[in-house]
C-alpha cells in the first residue's frame, strides 16, 4: 500500500446520495482475477450510453472536462450495497486518493482504507459548501492533522480517523503485515479456546 | 450490567485489542467464492505464505455459474476462468471446494447453513455482504472485502472495530399473506438504506421466535440493505432442531456439549443496546419496492410517496433519480402494473421453504402468458428436495422454468439477465440500477408476492389470491 500524507487537489463533485458499489463498478466487470485495470469501468453505466465508450454521457461528471482532481466528493451513504473491494480498486485505478462524503457505508470504508483511499467524513453543511464551490477550487486534506480545508476560503473541518489506521496510511503499512506479526498471540488464543 | 448476545460472541473471539484501534477478531468459519477470492490467493502467494488454517475455509462456485447445463463447460470465457481459478487455488491451498457438479454446490449462504457448517456462537466471514444471513443461527457473521479475505487466509483473523448494537423487537402475529421478506422490507423502508449503518442488529420478539430458520435467514440476509454490519437472532429450539443431524453438525457427545454452550447464547435481560426499535407485526403488509435502493419500499396497496412530501433535498433528488430510472410516477400505485419477469431465487429467498410457499400458491394455476418466470433453487440440495417433494411438477405445470443452483439473476453475472427497460418482480435483495442487467427495473418482494405476479402478470396483492 502507498503511504498517504496529504492531498492538495481540485475535486470531482457527485452530489448523488446512496451511491452503491454496483454503480461504482457493475457486477459484469468483477470477472477479473487481478486488482488492476478497473478504473476504465468506474461508474461505467453512468458514464457511457449503452455501454459504448465512444458515447460518453455529457451530463455525467467524469465526462465534464471542467472537473478533475484526485478527490471525489459524493452525497451521503456512499459505497452502500455489495462488499466488492473492486469498487475501491476502481476508484484508486482511476486516480482518486480520497472520497469526501457526510456518510459512508461500513464495508466500503474498510475496503477504501485497506487500499490507501481515504474516506473523509464531513458534516452535511461542509459537504454542501464544497458542492457550491467552482470547479477550479482546490481542497487540502492533511492526514496527520485530520483536517480538510477549502483553500479559497480557509474554511476547515477535522475528520475522524482511527489512530491505528492513520499510522497505517501515513506509513503505507497494511493490516496483513500486522496480523502476521501477531501469529503467536493468535496461536495462544486457539489453544486456550480448545 | 448484562451482556448482549453480540457482546458475548464478540468478547469470546477477541485475540487482542489494539490501543486506540480495532480488535484482532478470530474467525471460526470462512466461506469463499470465485469472485472475491482470486486476488486474495494471489496476495498471500506474493507474500510467500500458505493458508494459516485452510480447514476453516470452505469454498463454492455460485456468482458466475450458469443455471442451465451445468455439466457442460462454461461458455463465458471470463466466468470459466474465474471458476477454474477457484478450483486451482483450492487444490493448491488445501481448501474444501463444493464446486460445480458437487452435490453440495450452491449459493454460499444457502449451503453453509444447510450443511450444518454454520453453528451458534461462531464468527463467520465471507467476501460477500450477504454473509449476514448466517446470523440467523446466533453467529457474528459479516461481509468483508478481498483484503480482509487475505487477512483471514494469512492469520484466521480480521481487524475490526466493534460496532454499536441495535435491537429490533417485533411482537405479535403476522397477517395472512405476510412473510419474513415483508418484515425486513418493512424495517428497511422504515429506517432507510442507511438506517443501521455502524450497528450490528439483533432481531428479537415473539414474531421472530415464531419463524422458521429459513424465514429468519431471509431477515438476517437483508440486514446489510439498511447498512448494518450484520444481523443476528438468538438460537433456540427451532435452531437446534434445524441443525441436528446435518452433515457438519456435531454428533453424539459433542452435540450435547455444544448444546450446553449454545443455551447461553442470548442477550441478558439487563443488557443495554445503543438503540432499540419496537415493531408491531400486525402493521406489516405485503411489501414491494419501487425505487433503486431497498429502502424505497411501500406496502403493495399503498401509493409511491409524493416527491413534494419529501422535505430533505438530497433525499428528494435521490428519489427523483430513482423514479426516472424506474419510469414510475410519484404518487402512483403499483397495483395492476404489468411485469415482464419474475425471479424467484437468491441467497434471500431460494430455500426449500420459500419454494414450498410458491408451490402452495401456484398449485393448479398457470403463469400469465406475458410473464417469464424463473425459479432458481439456492443449492443442489434444495433442487433435490424440490424434486423429492414433487414441487417441480407444480412449477412446470404452471409454466415456470426451473434452473440449476446459483446466484443467477440476482446480480446477472451469468447469462440470467433482465433486458433493459423491463420490469422484474424479484425475491432477491437489491434493486440498484442495472443490478439485474443494464437498464433492468427491479421490484423487490416476497416469494408470495412474486408468485402472485407470475399468475396475474401484474403487481398483485397476494391476499387477493389466498382469500
pLDDT band at residue A194 under the 50/70/90 scheme: confident
First to last CA, chain A: 35
pLDDT value at B17 more than 90: yes
Q: Which pLDDT score is estimated for B467?
A: 79
Report the percentage of chain B scoring pLDDT > 90. Answer: 99
Question: How does pLDDT run across B355-382, given as a tens digit for each residue?
Answer: 999 999 999 999 999 999 999 999 999 9
Q: From the candidates A13, A16, A18, A34, which should be mutated to test the interface with B, based on the most B CB atoms within 10 A?
A: A18
Q: Do A31 and B148 touch (CB under 8 A)?
A: no
pLDDT value at B177 more than 90: yes
pLDDT value at B132 more than 90: yes
Mean pLDDT over A45-72 rounds to 96
pLDDT value at B247 more than 90: yes
Distance from CA of A86 to the nearest CA of B (A): 8
Question: How does pLDDT run across B38-88, given as a tens digit for each residue?
Answer: 999 999 999 999 999 999 999 999 999 999 999 999 999 999 999 999 999
Q: Do B163 and A88 touch (CB under 8 A)?
A: no
Give the three-class secondary structure for B348: coil
| Chain A (107-136) residues lying within 8 Å, Cβ to Cβ, of chain B | 107, 110-111, 114-115
pLDDT band at residue B1 under the 50/70/90 scheme: confident
Q: Do A15 and B317 touch (CB under 8 A)?
A: yes
Instruction: Name every chain A residue with its beta carbon within 8 A of the beta carbon of B35.
Output: 30-31, 84
Cβ atoms of B67 and B406 within 8 Å: the answer is yes
Cβ atoms of A10 and A68 within 8 Å: the answer is yes
Q: Chain A to chain B, count of Cβ pairs less than 8 Å apart?
A: 185
- Closest Cα in chain A to B24: A179
Q: From the candidates A23, A52, A87, A106, which should be mutated to test the interface with B, based on the most B CB atoms within 10 A?
A: A106
Q: Which pLDDT score is estimated for B147?
A: 97
Beta strands in B184-311 (DSSP E): 199-204, 230-232, 275-280, 287-289, 297-299
pLDDT band at residue B309 under the 50/70/90 scheme: very high
Give the three-class secondary structure for B108: helix
Q: Which pLDDT score is estimated for B20?
A: 87
Cβ atoms of B11 and B237 within 8 Å: the answer is no
pLDDT value at B431 more than 90: yes
Q: Do A114 and B81 touch (CB under 8 A)?
A: no
Please give the mean pLDDT across all residues of chain B: 97
pLDDT value at A2 more than 90: no
pLDDT value at A1 more than 90: no
Which pairing describes strands B164-171 and B123-126: parallel, antiparallel, or unpaired?
unpaired
Instruction: Name every chain B residue with its beta carbon within 8 A of the beta carbon of A163.
Output: 20-21
Give the three-class secondary structure for B3: coil
Distance from CA of A139 to the nearest CA of B (A): 22
Mean pLDDT over B238-249 rounds to 98
- Closest Cα in chain A to B78: A31
Per-residue cell: B320 = 427523483
* Predicted complex ipTM: 0.96
Question: How does pLDDT run across A96-116, given as a tens digit for each residue?
Answer: 999 999 999 999 999 999 999
Distance CA A30, CA A125 (A): 35
pLDDT band at residue B329 under the 50/70/90 scheme: very high
Q: From the candidates A179, A181, A185, which should be mutated to test the interface with B, based on the most B CB atoms within 10 A?
A: A179
Question: How does pLDDT run across A113-169, given as a tens digit for each residue?
Answer: 999 999 999 999 999 999 999 999 999 999 999 999 999 999 999 999 999 999 999
Amino acid at each position: 500500500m502507498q503511504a498517504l500524507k496529504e492531498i492538495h487537489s481540485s475535486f470531482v463533485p457527485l452530489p448523488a446520495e446512496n451511491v452503491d458499489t454496483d454503480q461504482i463498478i457493475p457486477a459484469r466487470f468483477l470477472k477479473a482475477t487481478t486488482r488492476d485495470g478497473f478504473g476504465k469501468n468506474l461508474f461505467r453505466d453512468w458514464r457511457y450510453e449503452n455501454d459504448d465508450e465512444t458515447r460518453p454521457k455529457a451530463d455525467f461528471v467524469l465526462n465534464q472536462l471542467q472537473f478533475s482532481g484526485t478527490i471525489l466528493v459524493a452525497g451521503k451513504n456512499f459505497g452502500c450495497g455489495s462488499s466488492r473491494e473492486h469498487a475501491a480498486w476502481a476508484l484508486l485505478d482511476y486516480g482518486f486518493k480520497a472520497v469526501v462524503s457526510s456518510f459512508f457505508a461500513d464495508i466500503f470504508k474498510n475496503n477504501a482504507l485497506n487500499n490507501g483511499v481515504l474516506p473523509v467524513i464531513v458534516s452535511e453543511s461542509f459537504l454542501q459548501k464544497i458542492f457550491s464551490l467552482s470547479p477550479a477550487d482546490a481542497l487540502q486534506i492533511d492526514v496527520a492533522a485530520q483536517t480538510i480545508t477549502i483553500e479559497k476560503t480557509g474554511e476547515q473541518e477535522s475528520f475522524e480517523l482511527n489512530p491505528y489506521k492513520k499510522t497505517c496510511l501515513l506509513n503505507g503499512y497494511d493490516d496483513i503485515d500486522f496480523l502476521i506479526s501477531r501469529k503467536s498471540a493468535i496461536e495462544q488464543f486457539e489453544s486456550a479456546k480448545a | 450490567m448484562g451482556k448482549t448476545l453480540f457482546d458475548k460472541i464478540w468478547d469470546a473471539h477477541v485475540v487482542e485489542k489494539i490501543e486506540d484501534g480495532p480488535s484482532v477478531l478470530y474467525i471460526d468459519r470462512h466461506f469463499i467464492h470465485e469472485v472475491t477470492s482470486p486476488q486474495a490467493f494471489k496476495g498471500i502467494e506474493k507474500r510467500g505464505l500458505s493458508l494459516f488454517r485452510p480447514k476453516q475455509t470452505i469454498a463454492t462456485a455460485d456468482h458466475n455459474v450458469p443455471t442451465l447445463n451445468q455439466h457442460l463447460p462454461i461458455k463465458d470465457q471470463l466466468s470459466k476462468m474465474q471458476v477454474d481459478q477457484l478450483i486451482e487455488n483450492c487444490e493448491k491451498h488445501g481448501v474444501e471446494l463444493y464446486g460445480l457438479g458437487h452435490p453440495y454446490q450452491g449459493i454460499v449462504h444457502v449451503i453453509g447453513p444447510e450443511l450444518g457448517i454454520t453453528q451458534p456462537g461462531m464468527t463467520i466471514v465471507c467476501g460477500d455482504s450477504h454473509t449476514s444471513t448466517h446470523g440467523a443461527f446466533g453467529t457474528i457473521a459479516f461481509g468483508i472485502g478481498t483484503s480482509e479475505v487475505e487477512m483471514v487466509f494469512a492469520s484466521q483473523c480480521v481487524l475490526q472495530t466493534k460496532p454499536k448494537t441495535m435491537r429490533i423487537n417485533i411482537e405479535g402475529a403476522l397477517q395472512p399473506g405476510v412473510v419474513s421478506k415483508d418484515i425486513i422490507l418493512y424495517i428497511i423502508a422504515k429506517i432507510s438504506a442507511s438506517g443501521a449503518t455502524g450497528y450490528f442488529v439483533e432481531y428479537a420478539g415473539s414474531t421472530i421466535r415464531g419463524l422458521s430458520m429459513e424465514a429468519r435467514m431471509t431477515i438476517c440476509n437483508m440486514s446489510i440493505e439498511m447498512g448494518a454490519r450484520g444481523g443476528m437472532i438468538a438460537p433456540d429450539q427451532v435452531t437446534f432442531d434445524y441443525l441436528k443431524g446435518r452433515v457438519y453438525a456435531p454428533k453424539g457427545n459433542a452435540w450435547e456439549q455444544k448444546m450446553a454452550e449454545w443455551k447461553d447464547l442470548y442477550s441478558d435481560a439487563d443488557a443495554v443496546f445503543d438503540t432499540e426499535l419496537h415493531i408491531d407485526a400486525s402493521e406489516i403488509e405485503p411489501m414491494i419496492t419501487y425505487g433503486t435502493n431497498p429502502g424505497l419500499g411501500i406496502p403493495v396497496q399503498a401509493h409511491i410517496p409524493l416527491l413534494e412530501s419529501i422535505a430533505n433535498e438530497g433525499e428528494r433528488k435521490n428519489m427523483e433519480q430513482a423514479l426516472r430510472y424506474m419510469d414510475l410516477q410519484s404518487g402512483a400505485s403499483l397495483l395492476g402494473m404489468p411485469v415482464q419477469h419474475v425471479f424467484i431465487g437468491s441467497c434471500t429467498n431460494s430455500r426449500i421453504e420459500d419454494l414450498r410457499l410458491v408451490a402452495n400458491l401456484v398449485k393448479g394455476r398457470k403463469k400469465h402468458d406475458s410473464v417469464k418466470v424463473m425459479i432458481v433453487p439456492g443449492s443442489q440440495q434444495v433442487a433435490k428436495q424440490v424434486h423429492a417433494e414433487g414441487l417441480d411438477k407444480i412449477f412446470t405445470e404452471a409454466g415456470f422454468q426451473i434452473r440449476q443452483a446459483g446466484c443467477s439473476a440476482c446480480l446477472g453475472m451469468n447469462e440470467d439477465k433482465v433486458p433493459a427497460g423491463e420490469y422484474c418482480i424479484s425475491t432477491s435483495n437489491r434493486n440498484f440500477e442495472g443490478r439485474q442487467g443494464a437498464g433492468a427495473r427491479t421490484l423487490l418482494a416476497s416469494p408470495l408476492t412474486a408468485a402472485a405476479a407470475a399468475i396475474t402478470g401484474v403487481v398483485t396483492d397476494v391476499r387477493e389470491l389466498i382469500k
